[in-house]
Amino acid sequence: MNKFGNDFEWLMKHGVHLINFNPEQLQELIDEEKLAELPKIEFNEEVVRMLSQYLVGNTSGTAEELMAMDASDRRRALWTWVDLIKDPDECRYIAKYVVGLN
């Protein structure tokens, strides 16, 4: 049993690439409080899907999608990623990735 409950189901439904991680890995990676607070809206469904792509190494496809967003949506998406990821090292990788997009 996972400790995310319904939020975990939502995460797995929209973060389709997260199937490559076991529940324990996801519990170490994802901040369950931030996930619970995240509004379950269409924009965030796409953000979670892109995050799942990024986490399995599909950085070029994710970069294309992020760069196609307007600046405010891109900023919102990336801040959501940083909020959801509780591993500081992974957040540093995300920051380096974002800097490389510009």
Which pair of tokens denotes residue 32? 């369950």
Show the DSSP H helices in 15-101 as ranges.
23-29, 32-37, 42-55, 59-68, 71-84, 88-101
Instruction: Give the residue-averaged pLDDT of 16-32.
Output: 94
For 11, the domain range is: 6-101
> Residue 2: is its pLDDT beyond 60?
no
Indicate the number of domains in the chain.
Answer: 1
> Do the domain assignments include residue 71?
yes
pLDDT tens column, 53-101? 999 999 889 988 998 999 899 999 999 999 999 987 888 888 787 778 7
- Give the Cα separation of 5 and 3 in Å (integer): 6
> Do the domain assignments include residue 1?
no
pLDDT for 99: 76
Which single residue is written with the structure tokens 């973060």?
15
Identify whether the C-beta of residue 79 lies closer than 8 Å to the C-beta of residue 38: no
